[in-house]
Structure 1
Amino acid sequence: MVDRVPLRTGPLVPRVEQVLRERISAGDWAVAQRIPNEAALATELGVGRSSVREAIRLIARDGLLDVRHGVGTFVTEPPDDDGDLGRLLRRARLLEVCEARTALEVEAARLAAERARPDELTALRDRLGRRHDSNGPRESAPDRFVAADLDFHRGVVDLAGNQVLSALFTSVLPLLHTAMVELVTGEPELPDTSCAHDDLLAALERGDPDGAEAATRANLDTIMTQLREGGAR
């Protein structure tokens, strides 16, 4: 029976991804070698096959694994210019996360502007204050900043009064947290979007759906523009 590899605490897929990346980096599997299949890795790590599949997909996007359907998954030779190519791949992945956030949070902001009660907005203002307090320097405590930022956005989604939107946001929250920490630490010149957050709260307090949508887009579009243009580093 295969002994299970201990996983660190935290969201499941990023933990599995980290373990597999560490094994590739350590040379546990040689270049061109086929790694164990999903079922074997799931048993070894004590997780579900879907978590292994998603972790492999993310690593393959970075060019470290080659998934050949019906054949297996193989370790690939790292790109020669890992710096430039690695940053491009990372930005593409983060951009997808931001696009998904926009689709979800824009509608949530519009609904929140129509439905939020004054006492709920007072609580949301407290969340925004904690987000601002943790904002700088972000690179020194990215986990703390990202947690406070996402707590504010989760509050906005919950104020939409739509259980499906809240459930969707909760389901992707671990992915958002991992991606945003990576973004904050990997893009040192990332613009400060505090003003857009202030504008969002102000629009909610006015009961202004269009203003809430515009502020949400201003926040996420700023980040997406930077990722598309590759302006940092």
Structure 2
Amino acid sequence: MLDMRRHPLAEKAAELLLARVRAGEWVLGQKLPGETTLAVQLGVGRSTVREAIRELAGKGVLQPRQGAGVFVTALDVAEDWDSVVRRAAITSVIEARVAIESEAAALAAARRTPADLRALRRTLRVRAKHCHDAEELVDADMAFHRQVVLASHNEILLELFDGFVPRLRPAMIDMLRIRPVPSPEDDHAAHLAVVEAVAARDPAAASRHSRAHLEAIKATLS
């Protein structure tokens, strides 16, 4: 029962500490007052202060250092990545994809394996079969672009790409239902150009074709 009672107090104490950090009372890298001082200032016990510090440490705002004290390591709590992506404008998502996928395409051209190339060609063929249905086309398109990122053999780029899919998929489906691809042939050729550059192990061309394709999508949104 004691822990149940203390938990809301610790949350409140953490909120108060965070508010003071946000207000600039303590700057980045500064050491906080000791537990006893904070307990008096917040009107809680030292154990509650410790819990509050643990909570903010888990969020990256504070860092306890053994024998040295507690230090400010961030001036606010980082917003959840999924929330940022969900709220972002579709043009912002496309711009981020340009940065990620153009680099991924260049790396894919330098690092791709024969298996990667076979998978790329396979996903491109699947994509070509679904050019007349918005939902199926978007899913096949995402699978193709993910395969390019996979071929880069960079797990961070893949993680970033996967983070965009939940935000991107419904927006792209809606867009294609309103404005279908004007020329499926040209669209396929743009994707094929990326594959051929990867196949030729030409990083500059792979990056250029990837960027041009995504910039064309962005242009249709303006």
TM-score by length of 2: 0.58
Unaligned residue ranges in structure 1 (runs of 5+): 1-49, 59-92, 229-233
Q: Deviations over 1:51-92 (max 9, x none)?
A: 99779957xxxxxxxxxxxxxxxxxxxxxxxxxxxxxxxxxx
Post-superposition offset of 1:174? 1.1
**Take 2:86 and 2:168, find their aligned partners in 1: how far apart are those partners?**
18
| Alignment deviations for residues 8-53 of structure 1 (CA, whole Å, 9 cap, x no partner) | xxxxxxxxxxxxxxxxxxxxxxxxxxxxxxxxxxxxxxxxxx7997
Task: Pick the aligned partner of 2:142 from 150, 167, 171.
Answer: 150
Looking at structure 1, the residues matched to 123 and 85 of structure 2 have their Cα atoms a distance apart, in angstroms, of: 32
> In 1, are the aligned partners of 2:101 and 2:210 still within 8 Å (CA)?
yes
Query: Do the aligned partners of 1:190 and 1:223 also contact (CA within 8 Å) in 2?
Result: no
Tell me the equivalent position of 2:126. Answer: 130
- Can you list the C-alpha shifts for 1:99-129, whole angstroms capped at 9, x where unaligned? 1111110110010000001222012100000
2:163 is equivalent to residue 163 of structure 1: no
CA distance in 2, matches of 1:51, 1:204: 30
Are the aligned partners of 1:190 and 1:226 in contact in 2 as well (CA < 8 Å)?
Answer: no
Question: Which of 194, 207, 210 lines up with 1:213 in the alignment?
Answer: 207
Q: CA deviation at 1:173?
A: 1.3
Identical-pair percentage:
35
Mapped pair 1:108 → 2:104: yes
Aligned length: 142
Counterpart-to-counterpart distance in 2, 1:153 and 1:53: 23
- Partners in 1 of 2:167 and 2:82 — Cα distance? 15
Q: 1:55 to 1:159 in 2, by over 3 A?
A: closer
Partners of 1:200 and 1:215 within 8 A in 2: yes
Q: After alignment, is 116-125 or 149-158 more displaced? A: 116-125
Larger-Rg structure: 2
Give unmatched runs, 5+ long, in structure 2. 1-79
1:184 aligns with 2:176: yes
Alpha-carbon distance change, 57 to 169 in structure 1, aligned in 2, over 3 angstroms: closer
- Counterpart residue number, 2:116: 120
Q: 1:185 to 1:117 in 2, by over 3 A?
A: same
When the two chains are superposed, the root-mean-square deviation of aligned CA atoms in Å is 2.5
Alignment pair present for 1:197 and 2:191 = yes
Q: Which runs of 4+ in 1 moved over 6 A?
A: 50-56
| Partner residue in 1 for 2:42 | none
Report how far residue 213 of structure 1 moved.
0.8
1:94 to 90, 111, 130: 90
